[in-house]
Chain A
Amino acid sequence: MDNGKVIEVKGLTKKYKEVTAVNNLDLNVYKGDVFGFLGPNGAGKSTTIRMLLSLITPTSGSVKLFGQDLIKHRLEILKRIGGIVEKPDFYLYLPAIKNLEILGKLSGADVSKKNLMEMLELVGLDKRANSKVKTFSHGMKQRLGLAQALLHDPELIILDEPTTGLDPQGIKEIRDLIIHLSEDKNKTIFLSSHILKEVQVIANRMIIINKGTTQIEGSVEDLLNSDTLSVTVEVNDLQNAANTIENSQWKKFLKEKNKTTLIFEIQDDDIPVLNKFLVENNVEVKSLVPVRSLENFFLKITEGGAE
């Protein structure tokens, strides 16, 4: 493996006639990472995952997994990956355990009843092993999806929005399972989501994409705990406030001016200083709301940036 890189994507592009679903995407996932792949709906996450799992062919660019080219070494690579792409679908007319047995055989996994039952127990479905999947709720299918992804003990687990459609308890269970897989089983996890908070809780590194293009990439801690905040200041007299700011050192930190608010990008420590400055200059401050820049940025692209 090249420098511990489990996934290495360079210039990945997928075009469907006029539509570019993924545009020149670069990303690196290292061994042991829980990598958050974040973006609004339609950002190109599932298309990227489909390319990582060889479901679709890239228009251009390269995908290396475990240091090997995906197209040339597809079968060897897929032996080391488990995944869920979008919602997990199964043969509805078969029981859960039979579904696992079929998929396990195809992956070369141990399909002894003992192993299958252990997997079902891990995801809390052991009591429903012989129930047909058509009787399963969405949450149960998600959990069965995780079981099939883990069956052959893969090194890399790719999960496409695994908590979508789950109730809060189901979300917590899936999160706990992912954390367990990462911390106790030392799996590398590639997790796509459109919820920043989800990635924040689980991942150590992340990338945000929108319209198929990388927006930001780095360590979750660095990105979320950066000192720069987006501070929205609501004032009574905007004109007075704007004039005051215009003639001060704060001018360079002012990023946006709306009807009644001013938005600054400043450090955490600067908030009380700014407040003091405004009050001392007779600007009546109604509210002052700090939001982390990353959250603000993600909210913006989520609101208006989807394809």
Chain B
Amino acid sequence: MINLISIELFKIFRKLRTYIGFIALAVLIPVIQIALYFEGDGYLDFATRNIKQSFVIVGDLMNGYLIANIVLQMLFVHIPFLIVLVGGDLLAGEATSGTYRMLITRPISRFKLVTSKFFSGLIYTNLLLVWMMILSLGVSILIFGTGELIVLKDKIYIFAKDDVLWRFILSYGFAALSMSTVLALSFLFSAFVENAIGPIVATMAVIIIFLIISALQVDILQPIKPYLFVNHMAVWREFMSDPIDYAKVINSGLILVAHIVGFYLITLYSFIKKDILS
């Protein structure tokens, strides 16, 4: 299996589309960092205008942690676009290029083939998030230094300097779970078609439709909202609260894991039964 995964990773990282996500983050994050470097104080004044009337804020809130949090908030919605570029191509790409025939006539089981591709996709997803973490957290800390983290949610939280890093690590960990769900969904769609465009569009359509349903304040939709995986994807924000609602985190985490396993099993079943006609 390790041999198969290394082959799949080799193929993934020899494709140009794989680097689109890495390049996009390498462009976008510095743009945000540069903008905040020059305009950050204005942003912070605007964000804290209400509390400044009642409190005196001592210290520098414009630091690497704040930048990393802003980057994560801003880009989290867009990362799925980068994930599906590769996830949608994992199986469909083989059909498009006609290489399914070469692969499936080898003495390897379809189970191993699908599983190795799935794990390779998960590795790509996590590498992309590590890259995002390095750029947003690592580089921001290098440029702006560390300090207290101010988080504006339903309440205003100010976390002590030494109480922040672990929150980021858990946030990125949960974000990895969320993005793995997106990967699993695009992988599922990828098993049914012979062109990667279909899974990419279908996955994004599902995410957008679910996000719209989640945002609609309509009574009839309330019962289905807990079952929409997109509602659980942003629960990483819970780590930027105090106290952390661990029950909510665990519940959402389990729902996302169930989705990942479910999408994988459906893909596996359909692929094992599939007639290769491409």
Contact = CB atoms under 8 A, between A and B. Distances in A.
The size class of the interface chain A forms with chain B is 20 to 34
A103 B105 CA distance: 10
Given A94-B14, A102-B11, A89 B275 contact: no
A191 interface: no
Interface stretch (A26-34, A37-45, A79-87): A79-87
Interface residues of B, number: 25
A148 B98 CA distance: 15
Contact of A56 (B97, B103, B109, B276): B276
B99 interface: yes
Given A55-B275, A56-B277, A85 B3 contact: no
B215 interface: no
A204 B273 CA distance: 36
Contact of B102 (A54, A81, A148): A148
B155 interface: no
A105 B105 contact: no
A79 B101 CA distance: 15
A87 B11 CA distance: 21
A273 interface: no
A5 B49 CA distance: 86
Nearest to A77: B107
Chain A, interface SS category: loop
Contacts of B273: 57
A57 B102 contact: no
A50 interface: yes
Contacts of B16: 93
Given A75-B107, A94-B14, A87 B102 contact: no
Contacts of A196: none
A91 B93 CA distance: 10
B10 interface: yes
B101 A85 contact: yes
A116 interface: no
A274 interface: no
A79 B7 CA distance: 19
Contacts of A93: 14-16
A74 B108 CA distance: 9
Contact of A106 (B98, B108, B275): B108
B250 interface: no
A108 to B, nearest CB: 7
Interface in A63-85: 74-76, 78-79, 81, 83, 85
Contacts of B106: 78, 103, 106-107
21 contacts: A54-B104, A55-B105, A55-B275, A56-B275, A74-B109, A79-B107, A88-B102, A89-B99, A89-B102, A91-B99, A93-B14, A93-B15, A102-B11, A103-B106, A105-B3, A106-B7, A106-B103, A106-B106, A106-B107, A107-B106, A148-B102
Given A55-B276, A75-B109, A88-B102, 19 more contacts: A50-B276, A55-B100, A55-B101, A55-B105, A55-B275, A57-B275, A74-B109, A75-B108, A78-B107, A79-B107, A85-B105, A86-B98, A89-B97, A89-B102, A91-B11, A106-B103, A106-B107, A106-B108, A107-B107
